[in-house]
Amino acid sequence: MKPFAFVFPGQGSQSVGMLDAWGDHPAVVDTLREASDALGEDVGRLIKEGPKEALGLTTNTQPVMLVAGVAAWRAWRAEGGELPAAVAGHSLGEYSALVAAEVLTLADAAPLVRFRAAAMQEAVPVGVGAMAAILGMDAERVKAGCAEAQATFGAGSAEVVEAVNFNDPAQTVIAGSKAAVDKACEVLKAIGAKRALPLPVSAPFHSSLMKPAAERLREKLAGVALAVPRFPLINNIDVAVESDADRIRDALYRQAFGPVRWVECVQAMQARGIGTLIECGPGKVLAGMTKRIDASIQGAALYDPATLAEAKALLA
C-alpha cells in the first residue's frame, strides 16, 4: 500500500445531517454514543437536526467536528482500513488527529474541546474580533500588509491584526480586532490581493487575542491524560512530531493563540514520502488545499461509505 496520511478538518466544514450517509454504521453509532455520554447531551441529534444556527455556535461546532472526524476514522478502521504513516489536523482538527493516534480518548477530548471553544468565545466578546481570508497574495506580503495596517493605529494601540492560518500558497487568513482586520483588508486589496473576504466566525481564532483562552486551556490540559502517539502526528504550531505528554500539552496551549502552519504541515508529510492525504471528516476543504500546496500529492476525502471505498481503491 502507498504511504498515506489522514488529515482532519476544523471549524467551517460542519453541516446539518453531515453523518446521515453513514446510516447505522456501528462505528459511527458507537462514536456518537460515547461523545453524548461525555458531554451529557445527544450529539447525534444535534448533528442530524441542527438547526444550522445551533451547529454554528463555536461551543457546538468544535465538539461536533471532533466527533465527525473520529467517526469517519473509526469507520475506516472497522472496514479494514490500514493505519496511516502520519496524521495531522487543521486547527481544531488536531484534536481529532490526537484521538485517532490514541493520545486522547474521545471521552476526554469531547469535553476538552467544548471547554476550549467556550474559553475562546469568552476571551473576546462577539463583534469585537474578526477574521478574513486573503486570496491571491503570498503569505509574506500578507504579513507585511497586516503590519502596515496595525501601524496606522499608532504605537501602544490595542488594535491588532495578524496572519493566523497559512492555508495554501495564495490563501492566508488574518485575525484580530475588528477595526484592525477591516483596515488590513483595505491595505491588502490596495497592494494587490485579489479578494479579502470577512469570515462568519464569532472570535479571532489563533490570534494573540486568544491568549487568555489559552491560559485557561493550559490549566485544563494539565489534568488530562495523554498517551504516546501510536503513529506520527504533525502538529500545527511547530510542524513537529512530539511524543512527550508535556510537549504535546504545550503545543496545544500555544496552538490556541498561534498560527496554523498548514502549508508547512503538508510539505512535511511530502518530505516523509507520503503521496496521498485523505481528509477524514465532512467536506473537501483540505483535499482542495492539498492540491494547491503540492500538485504531486493526491488529495481525497472520506466522509461516507462511498468515499471510504474510493479511498481504499486509491491506496490499493
pLDDT digits (tens, 9 = 90+) for 256-281: 999 999 999 999 999 999 999 999 99
Using CA atoms, how far apart are residues 140 and 137, in angstroms rounded to an integer? Answer: 8
242: phi then psi, degrees, rounded to nearest 5 = -120, 145
pLDDT reported for residue 289: 94
Q: Does the active-site annotation cover 90?
A: no
Residue 243 has pLDDT above 90, yes or no: yes
In the predicted structure, residue 247 carries a pLDDT above the cut 80 = yes
Task: Please state the rounded mean pLDDT for residues 91-101.
Answer: 98
Name the β-bridge partners of 293. none
Query: Cell numbers at residue 309, please?
Result: 471505498
Cα–Cα dist 130/110, whole Å: 26
CA 122 to chain centre: 19
Q: What is the pLDDT of residue 303?
A: 97
| Residues in CB range of 34: below 8 A, 6 or more apart | 106, 107, 110
CA distance 185 to 4: 37
Report which secondary-structure segment, H or E, holds 8: strand 4-8
Q: What is the dihedral of CA 76, 107, 111, 16, to 10 degrees?
A: 40
**Predicted local distance difference test score (pLDDT) of residue 56:** 87
Separation of alpha carbons 97 and 90, rounded Å:
9
Which of the following is catalytic: 13, 25, 91, 207?
A: 91
Query: Cell numbers of 185, please?
Result: 483588508
What average pLDDT score do residues 16-31 get? 97
d(CA 189, CA 29): 47
280 contacts 302 by C-beta, under 8 angstroms = yes
Amino acid at 219: E
pLDDT at 201 exceeding the cut of 90 = no
Asked if pLDDT for residue 316 goes beyond 90, the answer is no
Q: Which of 13, 25, 206, 207 is catalytic?
A: 206
Tell me whether the omega of the peptide bond preceding residue 51 falls within 30 degrees of 0, making it cis: yes
Would you call 91 a catalytic residue per the annotation?
yes
What residues form DSSP beta bridges with 176?
130, 161
- Strand, coil or helix: what is 233? strand
Q: What is the mean pLDDT of the chain?
A: 96
Can you give the pTM of this predicted structure? 0.96
In this prediction, residues 51-64 reach a mean pLDDT of 92
Confidence of residue 223 (pLDDT cuts 50, 70, 90): very high
What number of H helices and E strands is found in the chain? 13, 8
d(CA 255, CA 192): 29
